[in-house]
Amino acid sequence: MEAEESNRLPEGQGGQPHRRRVRYKGSHPRKYSEKYKELNPEKYQDTIEKVIRKGSTPAGMHLSVCVQEILDFLQIKPGQKGLDATLGYGGHSQKMLQCLGGKGHLYALDIDPIEIVKTKQRLNDLGYGDDILTVIHENFANIDKVAKEHGPFDFLLADLGVSSMQIDNPERGFSYKNEGPLDLRLNPQAGIPASQRLRESSKEELEWMFRDNSDEPYAREIARAIAAKLKKGQVIETTTQLAGVIGEALSFLPAKEQKEAVKKSCARVFQALRIDVNSEFEVLDAFLQKLPSVMAPGGRIAILTFHSGEDRLVKKAFKEFQKNGVFSDIADEVIRPSAKECAENSRARSTKMRWAVKA
């Protein structure tokens, strides 16, 4: 079916133009922009539930991870003041607001200028207005600035994962599975895109980036292939172009191993680039160092990490703060999502939760 839309004015509707949805080939939409039901969850709830039951995340949505585990630990009470350091789709914030029961206040931060507007509107539509919710466009590395005006906080959550809305939208360039600009910036209004980062990096820098940020076993081969491609004047401007170079770099592998190896290396390289472009380790370190100063005595902190580099930083900081008497208690072991949750949301599988209590 060819893409089709009409501005024909329907009869009896006051002359308001009627726009037909974009048609798609086949029986099911494949492209992100064609998934009109998933992109309108309030209108097509049955479709959303079917997608979730299959273990998938609906396009344009994000399924919050470890919700009950977080709430069980934070023990939020009406009248308290809290901070969601990474608002995202707002699923965690919604549950925390419910716990406040209309008393107290939740402050929520996000660096993404695109999604923050949508999420604020979504929460406002659910009845959470400025009297109980304040949404701030700010990097969570700057929690000290936020706390100076609004703190200290009784509870705090930081979900360090990239939201599904960002991953699924090809225009953001977060996934090798869909054609899009090789961007990977959480805030596309600041910094440089991943395509430029590749052009400005040496072979040695790329190798270090892939190995250090995501433990890529073929870091040298992939870095060499990228550098050679760019040296010849060829461009790597899109997600699929980078995925193609990674495939070429691993062509020496046995055929039966190649497909799976390329898939895994693509995921790791994109992760490594995203971490680098957004200075994620530096941002997390700044956040962790400022964390104790923004919490009220007895304040509870929960942090979700999604790869080993993040978890190491959180674990190290928490142990140091406990040793120095800043935290009265920390998690001895990570908390993981249940098998049921992982089955329903495959993106939850790598999640680790750590918690701490301010002395």
Q: What is the CATH number of the domain that holds 246?
A: 1.10.150
Indicate if 156 and 75 belong to the same structural domain: yes
> Residue with structure tokens 């974009």?
22
Q: What is the pLDDT of residues 33-65, one digit of tens each?
A: 454 444 555 555 555 455 544 545 555 555 788
Rounded Cα distance, 275 and 282, in Å = 9
The more confident residue out of 179 and 219 is: 219
In a domain, 346, yes or no: yes
H-helix segments, 161-218: 164-168, 194-200, 203-214
Indicate if 71 and 159 belong to the same structural domain: yes
In which element (H, E) is residue 51 found?
helix 45-53
Q: What is the pLDDT of residues 57-71, one digit of tens each?
A: 555 555 788 889 999
The more confident residue out of 138 and 22 is: 138
User: Sign of the CA dihedral 5, 9, 11, 13?
Assistant: positive
Indicate if 96 and 232 belong to the same structural domain: no
What is the predicted pLDDT for the residue at 43? 58
Residue 11, pLDDT > 50, answer: no
What is the predicted pLDDT for the residue at 36? 43
What is the predicted pLDDT for the residue at 298? 96
Count CB-CB contacts under 10 A for residue 30. 10
- Range of weakest confidence among 23-32, 112-121, 270-279, 312-321: 23-32
Indicate if 198 and 127 belong to the same structural domain: no
Of 239, 255, 277, the residue at which a domain comes to its end is 277
The CATH code of the domain that includes 346 is: 3.40.50.150
Domain that holds residue 136: 67-164+281-358
Where are the strands (E) in the chain, listed by range? 81-84, 105-110, 133-137, 153-159, 295-305, 327-330, 352-358
Segment 95-120 shows an average pLDDT of 93
Residue 32, pLDDT > 80, answer: no
What is the predicted pLDDT for the residue at 65? 86
Q: Is the peptide bond before 292 cis (omega within 30 degrees of 0)?
A: no
Segment 232-237 shows an average pLDDT of 92
Percent residues over pLDDT 70 in the chain? 82
Mode of pairing for the β-strands spanning 352-358 and 295-305: antiparallel
In a domain, 240, yes or no: yes
Which pTM was predicted? 0.79
Indicate if 151 and 285 belong to the same structural domain: yes
Of 257, 277, 297, the residue at which a domain comes to its end is 277
Tokens of 153: 């906080």
Residue 6, pLDDT > 90, answer: no
C-alpha distance from residue 135 to each of 2, 5, 21, 243, 332 (Å) = 41, 36, 32, 36, 32
pLDDT band at 3 (very low <50, low <70, confident <90, very high): very low
Tokens of 231: 């040296």
What is the predicted pLDDT for the residue at 242? 94
Q: Which residues pair with 83 in a beta bridge?
A: 107, 156
User: Sign of the CA dihedral 204, 286, 114, 168?
Assistant: positive
Count CB-CB contacts under 10 A for residue 288. 20
Indicate if 346 and 292 belong to the same structural domain: yes
Could you tell me if 183 and 236 are in contact, meaning their C-beta atoms sit under 8 angstroms apart?
A: no
- Range of weakest confidence among 63-67, 97-101, 131-135, 284-288: 63-67
What is the count of structural domains for the chain?
2
What is residue 57's DSSP assignment?
P
Of 227, 261, 277, the residue at which a domain comes to its end is 277
Residues in the chain: 359
In a domain, 174, yes or no: no
3-state SS of 136-177 is EECCHHHHHHHHHHHCCEEEEEEECCCCHHHHHCHHHCCCCC
Indicate if 74 and 199 belong to the same structural domain: no
What is the predicted pLDDT for the residue at 318? 96
Indicate if 267 and 289 belong to the same structural domain: no
In a domain, 177, yes or no: no
The more confident residue out of 307 and 162 is: 307
Residue 310, pLDDT > 70, answer: yes
What is the predicted pLDDT for the residue at 203? 94
Indicate if 255 and 289 belong to the same structural domain: no
Closest Cα partner for 139 from 96, 95, 186, 195? 186
The number of angstroms, rounded, from the C-alpha of 226 to the middle of its chain's C-alpha atoms is: 26
